[in-house]
Structure 1
Amino acid sequence: MAPRGANALQTLDALIHTASELLTQLQSALSELQSNPASQQHSSPVDPTINALSLAHDSASLIRAHGTKISLLIINEPFTPSAISTVLRELIAGPIPGLASSAQACTSAEYTEVIRVELASKARRVLSELSELIQKIPRDGKVLSKGSSRSGFAPGEKGSLPATGLLWAACDEIISLSKLGVRGVFAKKMDQWRDTLCDIMEELKDWGDEEPEDDDDDDDADDDHDDVDDLANNLTATSLSPQALLDQIMNSQPPIPKSDPHGIRPRLETSLRRLRLVTLLFQALLKHRLKNLPSFPAAAAPSSSIAPRLDEMANRLGTLPDRFGDLACAFYELQPHEIDRVMDQCFGDASDAASLFVQNWEGETDTFSEWLVRFRGEMKKA
């Protein structure tokens, strides 16, 4: 190989090393930010003119485009190390530090802690996938050969094409997050939580509608024993999917006895009525609060309290699906004392969550405030 070609390969090798070190350092910083979002908040001044989500969008778009260039350059003849070096220089000078800076500029006070953590997580994944692709760049001056080096997807041995696809997917997540914005991200989360609560409500309804068998006690004991054996056998069957296993477990729960000696059915009816109100709460918050959310980053003085309120909302509302999942389990186990305990916790948490939105974003009460007061009253009824 001519000296000029050798120099080009040496330059490429040095740039690969530089890019890899930079990516490792930035991934470490983003990992720290993700696990401790309060850290590094004021380690360096943030330019107030920077829109963190717009910067993230642009940086991810550029990384996606440059990653595509690298992917094509390493599989198509002739191999041109100078062209790859140019792409790496552009990445190092712009979009790589730009993406990390966007996560740093996405402060909890301006964008909420939820968005800060989510952006840091997604940005770290982009840098990780980009690092994987850069490691696929040949050092011998030849393009990647056809086969596993290009299209292989074995664990630990991803080819360049799968690595490119994973980078695209990671970049697309950043772009989607940026387009959704703060309002869109929280609305999406609330829809997901509400859907989970609706699923729990339907499962409880179906369980409550089940009719107990009229067999005598001895037959019931035998049937219960058979049911346990059948369930155990099914759980050992490798052909069952995770969803099928879950369905087997759910279907094994005994129905409410006709005599209902522990008063399970009245508790179920009360819980279903209130649970429906909780699902309506999610729907109402989307319409009357999130729809009217001010733009971000928060600029006006009254908006300084909005981000903490949204974070607290996510903390309160995000736990409700798990809480009501525990309530469903208590019902399935026919444990009245546990049902009462978890009911108090569930509906108390729902009431506390509603209290965060009695005032609108301007700190004033409105017609929706009255609805929330009535909702809290329903949650506290004995």
Structure 2
Amino acid sequence: MPPKTTPTTAASLIDLTHTTRTLLTHLQSSLTTPNATSTSTTPSQDATTSETTPPPILETLKSTTALLRANTTTLSLLLLTPPLTPSALYPKITTTTDILLTMVACLTPTPTSTEELGDTVHSAARLAVRRVLNAWSELLALVGRVAERVQHGTTDATDRKSGKVDKGVAEADRAAVLAATGVVWECCEAVEVVVADGVVGTVVRKAQEWRGVLVDAVNELKEWGEEEDDDEEEEGVGSDGDEDDLFGAGNKLGKGDSEMRRLLERSVKKLRMVGVVYQALVKRRLRTFPVTAPTSASKASKEGEVEVVEKSNMQTLDQLMALLKGIPETVDELASAFYDLDAEEAGKLLEKVCGDAVKAIQIVEKSWDGKEDEFSAWAGKWRGNFEGVE
């Protein structure tokens, strides 16, 4: 069978960009699906050997991202250097597509993959790779545009003036190619951040981000309450009021709203204490999460025990992170209830936040190896003070 020849026409290059972008859209959709345990049949533990065990996900992402960077740079240079050479660009695109397929495949949710990284890190990696796919698709769109210029012999005014006719990328597209290449690099850096942070670094970063959202919401609530106090003091001063006062009166918290004001003050106090929980959990539980893989010897002698412990810890971590992620979202709803002056709904949402915060502490009150420690003692004191807030 004769060797397969590389297409050398602009038309073939255009077709490749179209089909590849369609594939990338499909791959992006596949990574949008939330983490879920795969329902497909997986090999039994006895049937799995070292030859069939895939490499760690983060290791795969690291190697494929490095290859993607190199290929993107080469493609950009080929694209910017006249004349346009489809025979050189075509294999570079197909090779990069294989790289992207490998990146996506390693993130396809399976029982093994979700246990390896946990939901939070798995989601962060999927989001980063989705952005890579989108950035590469935009670069391919420019490749197709340049190929079409060459195919049809069209140039812009700048090209005609400089004599660069039918030789490659138009001057109008050069900046776009460089910018698109830069975006791909930035997206690769986002993947590399997840890889470098690993499980511990990623969950710590996410928890700190969520705490930041929580703190901002609490400060806004407090300021809202203080602004209403100022409005009450200034009421009746000057004119009879303006249009803003008339239509904004529906969400004013007046001094007469004693029940609502007490609820607001109680909420601010409790939410600030919840913010402290995030700090304690980051320091005492997330940063100390055990991620060291067992050695081959330990696997051989205590394989069942090691796997059970690791799986249990990862499940606990996933439960904890789900609570930490959900609390700021509930606080956002709580703030909306206050702004609507809906005391009943605000009370319900506050109780939910408080319950989730207590639950977050309870599920990791003991250390990852099941022992009581400094955090365990702190958690008991915090809970007592928290319940005493009125």
What is residue 316 of structure 1 aligned with on the other side?
323
In structure 1, what is the equivalent of residue 173 of structure 2? 149
- Tell me the CA shift for residue 43 of structure 1: 5.8
Counterpart residue number, 1:67: 72
Please list, as runs of the form range in 1=range in 2, the aligned pairs for 1:48-67 lying within 5 A after superposition: 48=53, 50-67=55-72
Give the TM-score normalised by structure 2.
Answer: 0.75
Whether 2:131 is the aligned partner of 1:125: answer: yes
Aligned to 1:196: 213
CA contact (8 A) 2:82 2:168 kept: no
How far residue 305 of structure 1 moved from its aligned partner, in angstroms, is 1.4
Separation in 1 of the partners of 2:362 and 2:62?
A: 35
Question: How far apart, in 2, do the equivalents of 1:224 and 1:327 lie?
Answer: 29
CA contact (8 A) 1:66 1:91 kept: yes
Question: Structure 1 201/288 Cα, relative in aligned 2: closer, same or farther at 3 Å?
Answer: same
The answer on whether the counterparts of 1:33 and 1:120 sit within 8 Å (CA) in structure 2 is: yes
Per-residue deviation, 1:221: 11
Deviation at 1:283, TM superposition (A): 0.3
Measure the CA separation in 1 of the matches of 2:316 and 2:281: 13
Q: Tell me which of 270, 274, 277 is aligned to 1:281.
A: 277
Structure 2 CA distance for partners of 1:342 and 1:82, relative to 1, 3 Å: closer
**Separation in structure 1 between the aligned mates of residue 39 and residue 66 of structure 2, nearest angstrom:** 26
Residues 136 and 39 of structure 1: is their aligned pair in 2 closer, same or farther, counting only changes over 3 Å? farther
Give me the whole-angstrom Cα distance separating, in 1, the residues matched to 2:239 and 2:342: 19
- The separation in 2 between residues aligned to 1:269 and 1:121, in whole angstroms, is 38
1:95-137 CA deviation, whole Å, 9 max, x = no partner?
2333123313871111112222332332233233323323433
Deviation at 1:44, TM superposition (A): 6.3
Residue 40 of structure 1 deviates from its aligned partner by 4.4
SS in 1 for 2:281: helix
Superposition TM-score, scaled by structure 1 size: 0.76
**What letter corresponds to residue 361 of structure 1 in structure 2?**
W
Q: What residue number does 2:182 align with?
A: 165
Q: Is the 8 A contact 1:274 1:378 kept in 2?
A: no
Contact kept? 1:358, 1:369, Cα under 8 Å: yes
Task: Report how far residue 293 of structure 1 moved.
Answer: 0.9
Percent identity between the two aligned chains: 27
**What's the offset of the Cα at 1:224?**
7.2
Q: Does 1:254 align with 2:259?
A: no
Residue of structure 2 in register with 1:32 after alignment = 30
Corresponding residue number in structure 2 for 1:213: 232
Q: Matched residues in 1 for 2:381 and 2:242: separation?
A: 44
The yes-or-no answer on 1:342 pairing with 2:349 is yes
**Structure 2 stretches of 5 or more lacking a match?**
152-165, 300-305
User: What is the aligned partner in structure 2 of residue 293 from structure 1?
Assistant: 289
2: distance between equivalents of 1:83 and 1:150? Answer: 18
Q: Does residue 352 of structure 2 align to residue 328 of structure 1?
A: no
Q: Any stretches of 5+ residues in structure 1 without a counterpart?
A: 1-6, 152-158, 232-248
Q: What's the secondary structure of 1:373's corresponding residue?
A: helix
Alignment pair present for 1:223 and 2:219: no
Residues 16, 125 of structure 1: alpha-carbon distance in 2 compared, 3 angstrom cutoff: farther
Q: What's the CA shift for 1:81?
A: 3.5
Matches within 5 A, 1:72-111: 72-92=77-97, 95-104=99-108, 107-111=113-117
Residue aligning to 2:154: none
| Residue of structure 2 equivalent to 1:354 | 361
Q: What secondary structure does 1:263 align onto? A: helix
C-alpha displacement of 1:87? 2.6
Give the match's secondary structure for 1:364.
coil
**Alpha-carbon distance, 1:351 to partner:** 1.4
Distance 1:221 1:73, change over 3 A: same
| Distance in structure 2 (CA, Å) of the matches to 1:163 and 1:221 | 56
Task: Give secondary structure in 2 for the equivalent of 1:50.
Answer: coil
- The one-letter code of the counterpart of 1:348 is G
Q: Residue type matched to 2:136 in 1? A: L
The more displaced of 142-151 and 349-358 is: 142-151
- Where 1:359 maps in the other structure, the secondary structure is coil
Distance 1:226 1:12 in 2: 62
Query: 8 Å contact 1:114–1:311 — kept in the other structure?
Result: yes
Q: Distance in 2 between matches of 1:215 and 1:333?
A: 22
- 8 Å contact 2:270–2:386 — kept in the other structure? yes
Q: Distance in 1 between matches of 2:42 and 2:131?
A: 23
Deviation at 1:8, TM superposition (A): 5.7
Q: Secondary structure at the match of 1:294?
A: coil
Q: Mark the CA change 1:34 to 1:311 in structure 2 (over 3 Å): closer, same or farther.
A: farther
Q: Which amino acid aligns with 2:273?
A: L
Q: What residue is the counterpart of 2:302 in the other structure?
A: none
Between the aligned partners of 2:105 and 2:327, the Cα distance in structure 1 is: 34
Q: How many residues align?
A: 345
In the TM superposition, what whole-angstrom CA distance separates every residue of 1:142-183 from its partner, at most 9, and x where no partner exists? Answer: 5433333333xxxxxxx4233222222222211111111111
Inter-partner Cα distance in structure 2 for 1:170 and 1:112: 22
Would the alpha carbon gap of residues 127 and 342 (structure 1) be closer, same or farther in structure 2, given more than 3 Å must change?
Answer: closer
